[in-house]
Amino acid sequence: MSALRAQTREVYRERVTKAFTHLIVEPDMVDQLGPAIAQGKAMFLYGPPGNGKSVMGEAIGSVLGGDIYVPHAIDVDGQVITLYDPVAHHAQHDSNQNSIIRQDTEIDGRWIRVSRPVITVGGELTLEMLDLRYRELSAFYESPVHLKSNGGVLVVDDFGRQRVPARDLLNRWIVPLESRVDFLTLKTGQKFELPFLVMVVFATNIRPSELVDEAFLRRIHYKILAESPTQDDFIEIFERVCREKQVAFDHGLVRALLELYFKPRGIALRGCQPRDLIGQSLARAAYLGEPRHLTLDLLEAACASYFVDEDAQLPA
């Protein structure tokens, strides 16, 4: 699996900044992310919900960029472990793949060229998913999710909200994260080692100190806060979403929404709100047979169904 390491690109500031241009991210945060990406170290990406932590994990994968080669499967003493997964890996075409004449430089057909993997797992993650799973019908083993992510990025979304305690997950990974080698076990009891060349991003809206103790935090060198957008950032995100949705952007309309709805109710700004509110407003306009155009009435109606009314009196 040495082909994984060979194609890792050099990471520098301009490259990281370019990868995050589609997001509204403060330069200071980009400069915190850059060294972590360059070292390939695991990180905690924490902060309030709805500020794009999961999307940032995908952007980290684009910083690394490029294609890598992964084997279709690996053999351990006659036991076959599948590694290539068409769901997790995006195969790329090789120019010499269909050539009739075999060249000396041709890649071994047991390997397949894929985009650098970026795999996201969430609340469904269990300890069993981090070990080999034997398939009785096929007599093959399925490789764990972090092995499929080798050479790329594994985003553990909503970390701390899995069915298994966060401490147990980190206990399983703490040695591979430091040694860059993981040990897996066959159903025969035989253990073997494989490279652990994956950057793990733990995205959470829970403070890392509430999830694990100081000893664990010390081993995860990078803890980066994804802060909520400022008002100017919020307006810029709103404008970008309008452009994507091909709907007219009105700066004064957004200002009015913030002053008349958000501010009186003390609603905290989140990066996901412009996308969600615009989507709901356009859906309401279509439902009412109105023009595909944002108005304050549409946006306020979207807010009314989007935000929870904490002061509402519910029947006993």
d(CA 48, CA 44): 13
Strand 133-135, strand 140-142: pairing: antiparallel
pLDDT on residue 105? 53
**How far is the CA of 231 from the CAs of 192, 255, 270, 276, 307, in angstroms?**
53, 9, 10, 17, 18
d(CA 260, CA 300): 9
d(CA 107, CA 96): 8
Q: What is the pTM of this model?
A: 0.82
**How far is the CA of 286 from the CAs of 187, 250, 296, in angstroms?**
56, 19, 16
Question: Which top CATH class is 3-225?
Answer: alpha beta
Annotated domain spans of the chain? 3-225, 231-306
Q: In a structure prediction context, what are the per-residue pLDDT tens digits for the chain, which is 316 residues long?
A: 444 444 455 777 888 888 888 888 888 888 899 888 888 888 999 988 888 877 887 788 888 878 889 999 999 989 999 999 998 899 887 655 544 444 555 667 889 999 889 999 988 888 888 999 998 888 899 999 999 999 999 999 889 888 888 888 888 888 898 889 999 999 889 999 999 999 999 998 888 888 888 877 888 889 999 888 999 999 999 999 999 999 999 999 999 999 999 999 999 999 999 999 999 999 999 999 999 999 999 999 999 999 987 665 555 5
pLDDT on residue 311? 61
pLDDT on residue 316? 56
